[in-house]
């Protein structure tokens, strides 16, 4: 059922672009006491996509939570996008989602049918993932927000982490960039229906399908590209792996119209937060301005970014490119340099 409502008009910032900046987050988290448990396999130390806790030698649980404000106007589509985004962290860790809890903030001034459509959209994607919604929590809020707390499972020896990338390996990205920029143009009524269809298709595509392919291979490091943009998530991978990531400016995939809207300065606020956090920590060599915006653009429900051997990369890419959304080799891992990220 299509409801005549524009959800983005109720949000100051949209999707993953509404994240607290990396700098502010680091300032707060750095002052918190450390917690230790011998069964905690992945915690907060490496800014990974989810926590992993070992139950026994054969089984560990993956826990993650993600919610945000609307990035599209249609409630049902918003529900699908938010659920797809939340489920992605489990796939980035190499696991399978099992259960989910709804997280809802909802304004009194909106009709409850809007909430019903949001939740139905979420259910569709959770079912597609092979998981089940077991409950949730709601509060009143001036801005609508929706997402999931997701629990997944994995064998303790199969975990994919955002560190471990090795010099000589290549980097593959499974979705194009530009979601935040094109969405900003859409919110300002400057983009086309075709643009809306392209970004929506990307955002509602589960990373389940690319994850099922890459887990068959020896993947050294993996993360998903969301609110901190390609640069932010690459920086986390490089820093925790003690390497430098060298990105190729001619190989960065992006939604075609993102270049035009970048040049016209339809730029999300989260992009500037991402730039500020990494100031002085990267090197750009002859990078056009539009592309520098795109690589810092906050992605909502972005693709997987992973490192693997050059030998395996061709086989992996061949399988990935049988999927509807094409993947790209975007760079390589080199020995640690003065700057952790180089784009040239």
pLDDT for 31 equals 85
In a domain, 307, yes or no: yes
Residue 35 shares a structural domain with residue 127: yes
In a domain, 162, yes or no: no
Residue 127 shares a structural domain with residue 174: no
Residue 127 shares a structural domain with residue 175: no
In a domain, 51, yes or no: yes
Residue 144 shares a structural domain with residue 35: yes
pLDDT for 18 equals 67
Domain end position, chosen among 101, 121, 154: 154
CATH code: domain of residue 40: 3.30.1330.10
Residue 187 shares a structural domain with residue 124: no
In a domain, 174, yes or no: yes
pLDDT for 35 equals 83
Domain enclosing residue 294, as ranges: 170-343
pLDDT for 312 equals 96
Give yes or no for a contact between 53 and 227, defined as CB atoms under 8 angstroms apart: no
Q: Which residues of the chain, if any, have pLDDT below 70?
A: 1-3, 13-20, 22, 46, 48
CATH code: domain of residue 186: 3.90.650.10
Residue 34 shares a structural domain with residue 115: yes
Residue 50 shares a structural domain with residue 198: no
In a domain, 160, yes or no: no
- Domain count for the chain: 2
In a domain, 20, yes or no: yes
pLDDT tens profile 212-259: 999 999 999 999 999 899 999 999 999 999 999 999 999 999 999 999
Residue 225 shares a structural domain with residue 324: yes
pLDDT for 27 equals 83
Residue 135 shares a structural domain with residue 101: yes
**105 is known as an active-site residue:** no
Q: How many Å separate Cα 2 from the centre of its chain?
A: 27
In a domain, 124, yes or no: yes
Residue 192 shares a structural domain with residue 302: yes
pLDDT for 15 equals 60
Domain end position, chosen among 96, 124, 154: 154
Domain end position, chosen among 154, 185, 208: 154
Residue 194 shares a structural domain with residue 337: yes
Residue 99 shares a structural domain with residue 227: no
In a domain, 108, yes or no: yes
pLDDT for 1 equals 52
């Amino acid at each position: 059922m299509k409801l005549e409502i524009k959800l983005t008009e109720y949000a100051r910032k949209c999707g993953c672009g509404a994240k607290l900046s990396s700098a502010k987050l680091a300032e707060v988290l750095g002052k918190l006491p450390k917690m230790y448990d011998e069964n905690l396999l992945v915690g907060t130390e490496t800014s990974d996509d989810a926590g992993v806790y070992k139950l026994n030698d054969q089984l560990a649980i993956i826990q993650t939570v993600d919610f945000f404000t609307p990035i599209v106007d249609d409630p049902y589509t918003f529900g699908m996008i938010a659920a797809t985004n939340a489920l992605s962290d489990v796939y980035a860790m190499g696991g399978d989602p099992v259960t989910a809890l709804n997280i809802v903030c909802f304004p009194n001034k909106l009709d409850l049918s809007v909430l019903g459509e949001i939740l139905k959209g979420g259910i569709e994607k959770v079912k597609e993932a092979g998981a089940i919604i077991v409950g949730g929590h709601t509060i009143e809020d001036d801005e609508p927000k929706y997402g999931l707390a997701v629990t997944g499972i994995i064998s303790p020896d199969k975990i994919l982490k955002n560190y471990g990338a090795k010099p000589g390996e290549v980097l593959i990205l499974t979705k194009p960039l530009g979601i935040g920029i094109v969405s900003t143009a859409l919110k300002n009524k400057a983009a086309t229906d075709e643009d809306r269809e392209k970004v929506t298709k990307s955002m509602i595509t589960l990373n389940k399908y690319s994850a099922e392919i890459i887990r068959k291979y020896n993947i050294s490091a993996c993360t998903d590209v969301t609110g901190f943009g390609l640069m932010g998530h690459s920086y986390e991978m490089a820093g925790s792996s003690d390497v430098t990531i060298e990105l190729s400016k001619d190989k960065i995939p992006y939604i075609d119209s993102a270049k035009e809207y970048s040049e016209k300065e339809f730029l999300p606020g989260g992009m500037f937060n991402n730039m500020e956090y990494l100031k002085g920590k990267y090197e750009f060599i002859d990078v056009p301005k539009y592309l520098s915006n795109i690589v810092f653009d906050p992605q909502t429900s972005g693709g997987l970014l992973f490192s693997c051997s050059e030998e395996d990369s061709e086989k992996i890419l061949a399988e990935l490119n049988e999927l509807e959304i094409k993947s790209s080799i975007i760079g390589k891992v080199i020995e640690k340099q003065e700057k952790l990220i180089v784009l040239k």
